[in-house]
Chains A and B, each alone.
Chain A
Amino acid sequence: MRSRFIEHTAPPLGPYSGLRGMTTVNDLLRVTESGLYCERGDFYVDPWRRVPRAVITHAHADHARAGSDRYLCSAAGKLVLRTRIGGGSPIDTLRPGESVSLNGVQVSLHPAGHLLGSSQVRIEHGGVRWVVSGDYKLQDDPTCDRFEHVACDVFVTESTFGLPVYRWQSPERIAAEINDWWRANRDAGRASVLLAYALGKAQRLAAMVDPTIGPIVAHGAVMKLVEAYRASGVRLPSIDRVPAGARRVGDGRALVIAPPSVLGSSWLKLFGESSVAMASGWMMLRGVRRRRGFDRGFSVSDHADFPGLLAAIDASGARRVLVTHGFSDTLARHLRESRGLEASVLPTRFTGEASPDATAAADDGEPDANGDGDRPDADALTTS
């Protein structure tokens, strides 16, 4: 008696609204099979295949791939990038704002605020200035330099959280929420397991929380990068490694920072009774929190929220904006309509559209496969 005859009608057919190739051969940068290419300077930005010269915005897996002949990144990000791509290929570095000429094209790197050493790539030739911002956020982060507004003519922006429902709370507010949760668990004798991406988010959280509440323990995948951060000069509180072969760790007072892939694994059993929380921008949505089945969700992200994206775009002064990685269609249309900008979608990868589950198959536990992953179901396959 609960069933119904279902009405099904086709959606109205409108003009073709599929993908648009948004760069041309006359542009300083254009999309090729290997990624975003500067022909005049003969280099790629965050290529997705092996190339002779790669300029890397940051060390997340969807931006930095091993196997290219030569790399260029920020001085601050060199050790982290080395951890990610392994030995072999030389890595050249630039200090913030320092400029280098690649075949007559001026290239400089400017802080993007996303994670340690993350950069925006500024490219200038013949009086035309492009900025490829990579992933970025405007919020304060004790583990990396603050986002710098760089004036340009063409701004390439991400749009991971490019919908106005995404507005972050202040880092102080989030830190207070996490501290309260940790303290309440400690008082109840429960461990506090905080799931976060092993590169960037995990270290930022460690630096955000109040280390006087109890000991901080981290998963091996997180520790490897904690060491790279420390060696790069970032101050982090004391963090314990989980001893190999341990059968029981902590006494219900610890904050355990681990990648999301540990969910459902026996590794979590080491800590006895625990409350499991996820730290991700997607935790803003009740539906995502519910389907992932966490005890708590903290909406903290290393990407810009919607107001942050607009602030960065406005401050760039660019008349032309290329939107990639996320809600590209939506943000581009909004920029055209609300600001009269020449805004369009810049296809990423081969499919032309970034899937929200792009890193679904990747194992976040291993830094080498640790993608950006800041996606609602990035690790659904390993956790559900």
Chain B
Amino acid sequence: MKRFTDLYWRLDATTSTNDKVAALRDYFAAAPPDDAACALAVLSGARQLRSVSTSQLRSWAAEATGLPAWLIEECYAHVGDLAETLALLLPDAALDATPGTDLGLAEMMQRTIHDLRATTDDHKREVVADVWRRLAPRERIVWHKLLTGGCRVGVSRTLVARALAEVAGVDPAEMAHRLMGAAAADGPAYLRLLASESTEADSRRPYPFFLAAALDRTTVEHVAEDLGAVGDWQSEWKWDGMRAQLVRRGEAATVWSRGEELVNEAFPEIAAAGESLPPGTVLDGELLAVSDTTLLPFATLSKRASRKRVTNKVLADIPCVFVAYDLLEEGGVDLRELPLAERRRRLEALVPVPFTDRLASLPVQPAHLFLSPLVTGGSWAELAALRAEARARGVEGLMLKRRSSPYGVGRTRGDWWKWKVEPLEIDAVLLYAQAGHGRRAGLHSDYTLGLWDGDQLVTVAKAYSGLTDAEIVELDRIVRATTLEKHGPVRICRPTVVLQLAFEGVSLSTRHKSGVAVRFPRIVRWRKDKEPAEAGTLADLRRMIVAT
């Protein structure tokens, strides 16, 4: 546990990717295989099951410290991280128990986390209290995060792959591929991963996803200047769905999310449709939820995605399709180094039916597998005009992909760009503020904003700050000075501050007091030049609703 704790704090202490890779490499080179397998699962963000709830931890910590629950909550609001708050509050570890009792990560997780799942609450409490007595605060933080399933270390898969590639002495891209979808469940599996012995998981393994970057400059003139000839680029709609790979190898087809989770259970009809493909085929594309006539919003799709098993009713209510936009493997051959134009030619031959928003006109078979249609424009200006229709079409904008480019790994800039539609904007008034987390712990940086409805301000959105650190500090001071009431961590402020809110869309909602819901709201600017009376109205916001 000490070795993993050291790794955690070493990663935490640096922002340099080279230092991070070095820390990971040192860890993996020294850790016993069982521990390494465990660490790899944690680092790659594998879903960790909770054996103890945070409310149990809070109440046991209240007993151990003799502090009232409200005071622990005040501390949490200030610190912004429960694992850290409890680690700091608990009495110091008993000195006699510390030396020589350090367990390895794998054994520690087995004994003090996984084994707890099947036991009684009393036994859980005993185990937790015992661990608290044995660990120093810096170890407790890490263990709390493992225990509550929230151990995110902030290293990308690419960095983990680089470090493991150094340990194994192989190419980083090769290691990235070996790591896809194949969690090393134990020490032997981890050793096979390093030694490159093929495993059963190989046959299902997706490729590392190639990710697009957002364009820095989005006006048509800038895009023309930055990207050059329009003919060098392939453009498609930027779908508002879930990125996925459909892997057809051996006997079966598998569907993988971008988070490298197998989602066959959530999308059985897509997996079944994949079996119609020739063996040795891998498609990259997007999962979309559709009705007979229209695209369904992302929120509806995510209801599907979160299910372990879908009933026939859900299948009928939320039908899904897979829209393919790239072909990564054909006849068992990796095509990623071929130019996009060639991959596209082969993809069109394999999946000939383009997806259209006039769904009723689509042929019935194969009903779940479509080709992402090209958006054609003879000039950047024509494309810009089509991009302006994005919101009405229920898409996020355009994707621009260089025709000559190979299929890359991770977020490499230059060949794949997102040209998203410009966000909607409105000036809103700061009504409530709450302390943030992580870097913004202790500063009021989560804001609830309101718009005018007659002479009343109605809350319309909660948004995290897109302000600079200096502005956040300044606004924090204003929040404290204009506080009318405090409710735990939330402060109700006298309306004095106007913030410019950007969002992707507006829809009617019965769940919100204002009657409307804004999509992906964030703060883009502090309008110091405006008084609250000059802020926008609910009527302004309603006018932005686009019928879908």
Q: Please tell me if A355 contacts chain B, counting CB pairs below 8 Å.
A: yes
Q: Are B12 and A287 in contact (CB under 8 A)?
A: no
Given contacts A167-B88, A285-B84, A290-B12, contact A360 B477 (CB under 8 A): yes
Cβ-neighbour of A356 out of B88, B442, B509, B511 (below 8 A): B442
Q: Are A355 and B74 in contact (CB under 8 A)?
A: no
Question: Which chain A residues border B483 with CB–CB below 8 Å?
Answer: 18, 353
Given contacts A164-B75, A285-B442, A330-B71, contact A355 B477 (CB under 8 A): yes
Question: Which chain B residues border A295 with CB–CB below 8 Å?
Answer: 13
Given contacts A3-B504, A384-B470, contact A287 B517 (CB under 8 A): no
Most chain A C-beta atoms within 10 Å of own C-beta, residue among B240, B460, B517: B517
Q: Please tell me if A311 contacts chain B, counting CB pairs below 8 Å.
A: no
- Expressed in whole angstroms, the Cα–Cα distance for A333 and B487 within the complex equals 14
- Expressed in whole angstroms, the Cα–Cα distance for A360 and B437 within the complex equals 21
Chain A residue nearest to B437 in the complex (CB):
A287
Q: Please tell me if A13 contacts chain B, counting CB pairs below 8 Å.
A: yes
Give me the 9 closest cross-chain CB pairs, A-B, nearest first: A287-B441, A3-B520, A291-B439, A165-B88, A11-B487, A11-B490, A384-B469, A8-B462, A380-B473
Q: Please tell me if A288 contacts chain B, counting CB pairs below 8 Å.
A: yes
Cβ-neighbour of A1 out of B65, B243, B460 (below 8 A): B243
Question: Which chain B residues border A8 with CB–CB below 8 Å?
Answer: 448, 459-462, 512
Write the A1-28 contact mask toward B (1 if CB under 8 angstroms, else 0): 1111111111111101110000000000
Q: Are A5 and B88 in contact (CB under 8 A)?
A: no
Given contacts A6-B518, A330-B71, contact A351 B242 (CB under 8 A): no
Q: Please tell me if A42 contacts chain B, counting CB pairs below 8 Å.
A: no
Q: Please tell me if B466 contacts chain A, counting CB pairs below 8 Å.
A: no
What is the minimal beta-carbon distance from A220 to any residue of chain B, in angstroms?
25
- Contacts A285-B84, A285-B442, A291-B469 known; list 12 others, CB within 8 Å: A1-B298, A6-B462, A8-B459, A8-B462, A11-B487, A284-B88, A285-B441, A287-B439, A295-B13, A333-B70, A334-B71, A384-B468
Question: Which chain B residues border A327 with CB–CB below 8 Å?
Answer: 74, 78
- Expressed in whole angstroms, the Cα–Cα distance for A293 and B521 within the complex equals 28
What is the minimal beta-carbon distance from B442 to any residue of chain A, in angstroms?
6
Question: Which chain A residues border B78 with CB–CB below 8 Å?
Answer: 163, 165, 327
Q: Are B80 and A287 in contact (CB under 8 A)?
A: yes
Given contacts A330-B74, A357-B473, A357-B476, contact A164 B439 (CB under 8 A): no
Chain B residue nearest to A3 in the complex (CB):
B520
Write the B484-503 contact mask toward A (1 if CB under 8 angstroms, else 0): 11111010100000000000
Q: Please tell me if B432 contacts chain A, counting CB pairs below 8 Å.
A: yes
Q: Are A353 and B470 in contact (CB under 8 A)?
A: no
Q: Are A18 and B484 in contact (CB under 8 A)?
A: yes
Question: Which chain A residues border B487 with CB–CB below 8 Å?
Answer: 11-14, 17
What is the minimal beta-carbon distance from A73 to any residue of chain B, in angstroms?
30
Q: Are A165 and B89 in contact (CB under 8 A)?
A: yes
Residues 74-89 of B contacting A (Cβ, < 8 Å): 74-75, 78-81, 84-85, 88-89
Question: Which chain B residues border A10 with CB–CB below 8 Å?
Answer: 432, 459, 513
Contacts from B to A (Cβ < 8 Å): 12-13, 15, 65, 67-68, 70-71, 74-75, 78-81, 84-85, 88-89, 141, 240-243, 298-299, 302, 432, 437-443, 448, 459-463, 468-470, 473-474, 476-477, 480-481, 483-488, 490, 492, 504, 507, 509, 511-513, 517-521
Write the A308-339 contact mask toward B (1 if CB under 8 angstroms, else 0): 00000000000000000001011001100110
8 residue pairs A–B, Cβ–Cβ below 8 Å: A5-B517, A164-B71, A287-B442, A351-B480, A353-B481, A360-B473, A380-B473, A384-B470
What is the minimal beta-carbon distance from B2 to any residue of chain A, in angstroms?
18
- Expressed in whole angstroms, the Cα–Cα distance for A291 and B459 within the complex equals 30
Q: Are B470 and A288 in contact (CB under 8 A)?
A: no
Question: Which chain B residues border A360 with CB–CB below 8 Å?
Answer: 473-474, 477
Most chain B C-beta atoms within 10 Å of own C-beta, residue among A13, A17, A327: A17
What is the minimal beta-carbon distance from A48 to any residue of chain B, in angstroms?
15
Q: Please tell me if A368 contacts chain B, counting CB pairs below 8 Å.
A: no
Most chain A C-beta atoms within 10 Å of own C-beta, residue among B71, B298, B448, B509: B71
- Expressed in whole angstroms, the Cα–Cα distance for A6 and B84 within the complex equals 27
Question: Which chain B residues border A291 with CB–CB below 8 Å?
Answer: 439-440, 469
Q: Please tell me if A376 contacts chain B, counting CB pairs below 8 Å.
A: yes
Question: Which chain B residues border A9 with CB–CB below 8 Å?
Answer: 513
Question: Which chain B residues border A376 with CB–CB below 8 Å?
Answer: 442-443
Q: Please tell me if A364 contacts chain B, counting CB pairs below 8 Å.
A: no
Q: Are A286 and B84 in contact (CB under 8 A)?
A: yes
- Expressed in whole angstroms, the Cα–Cα distance for A110 and B420 within the complex equals 66
- Expressed in whole angstroms, the Cα–Cα distance for A355 and B517 within the complex equals 34
Q: Please tell me if A381 contacts chain B, counting CB pairs below 8 Å.
A: yes
Q: Please tell me if A135 contacts chain B, counting CB pairs below 8 Å.
A: no
Q: Are B486 and A353 in contact (CB under 8 A)?
A: no
Given contacts A8-B462, A285-B79, A381-B473, contact A165 B437 (CB under 8 A): no
Q: Please tell me if A377 contacts chain B, counting CB pairs below 8 Å.
A: yes
Q: Are A377 and B448 in contact (CB under 8 A)?
A: no
- Expressed in whole angstroms, the Cα–Cα distance for A7 and B71 within the complex equals 27
Chain A residue nearest to B242 in the complex (CB):
A1
Cβ-neighbour of B75 out of A3, A165, A288, A333 (below 8 A): A165
Q: Are B459 and A377 in contact (CB under 8 A)?
A: no
Question: Which chain A residues border B443 with CB–CB below 8 Å?
Answer: 376-377
What is the minimal beta-carbon distance from A253 to any residue of chain B, in angstroms?
23
Given contacts A14-B485, A164-B65, contact A287 B242 (CB under 8 A): no
Chain A residue nearest to B462 in the complex (CB):
A8
Question: Which chain A residues border B462 with CB–CB below 8 Å?
Answer: 6, 8
Q: Are B439 and A165 in contact (CB under 8 A)?
A: no
What is the minimal beta-carbon distance from B73 to any residue of chain A, in angstroms?
10
Q: Are A11 and B492 in contact (CB under 8 A)?
A: yes
- Expressed in whole angstroms, the Cα–Cα distance for A14 and B484 within the complex equals 12
Cβ-neighbour of B438 out of A12, A284, A290, A377 (below 8 A): A290
- Expressed in whole angstroms, the Cα–Cα distance for A353 and B473 within the complex equals 16
Residues 7-65 of A contacting B (Cβ, < 8 Å): 7-14, 16-18
- Expressed in whole angstroms, the Cα–Cα distance for A163 and B302 within the complex equals 40
- Expressed in whole angstroms, the Cα–Cα distance for A302 and B87 within the complex equals 23
Q: Are A164 and B67 in contact (CB under 8 A)?
A: yes
Write the A265-304 contact mask toward B (1 if CB under 8 angstroms, else 0): 0000000000000000000111110110101000000000
Question: Which chain A residues border B437 with CB–CB below 8 Å?
Answer: 287
- Expressed in whole angstroms, the Cα–Cα distance for A384 and B474 within the complex equals 13
What is the minimal beta-carbon distance from B4 to any residue of chain A, in angstroms?
17
- Expressed in whole angstroms, the Cα–Cα distance for A165 and B78 within the complex equals 9
What is the minimal beta-carbon distance from B326 to any residue of chain A, in angstroms?
17
Q: Are B473 and A5 in contact (CB under 8 A)?
A: no
- Expressed in whole angstroms, the Cα–Cα distance for A109 and B460 within the complex equals 55
Q: Are B519 and A3 in contact (CB under 8 A)?
A: yes
Question: Which chain B residues border A14 with CB–CB below 8 Å?
Answer: 485, 487
Question: Which chain B residues border A164 with CB–CB below 8 Å?
Answer: 65, 67, 71, 75, 89
Chain A residue nearest to B86 in the complex (CB):
A165
What is the minimal beta-carbon distance from A16 to any residue of chain B, in angstroms?
6
- Expressed in whole angstroms, the Cα–Cα distance for A360 and B473 within the complex equals 8
- Expressed in whole angstroms, the Cα–Cα distance for A315 and B153 within the complex equals 44
Cβ-neighbour of B440 out of A4, A11, A287, A357 (below 8 A): A287
What is the minimal beta-carbon distance from A363 to any residue of chain B, in angstroms?
15
Q: Are B477 and A286 in contact (CB under 8 A)?
A: no
Chain B residue nearest to A282 in the complex (CB):
B442
Chain A residue nearest to B444 in the complex (CB):
A356
Chain A residue nearest to B491 in the complex (CB):
A11
What is the minimal beta-carbon distance from A161 to any residue of chain B, in angstroms?
11
- Expressed in whole angstroms, the Cα–Cα distance for A17 and B443 within the complex equals 20
Given contacts A5-B509, A8-B459, A164-B89, contact A288 B442 (CB under 8 A): yes
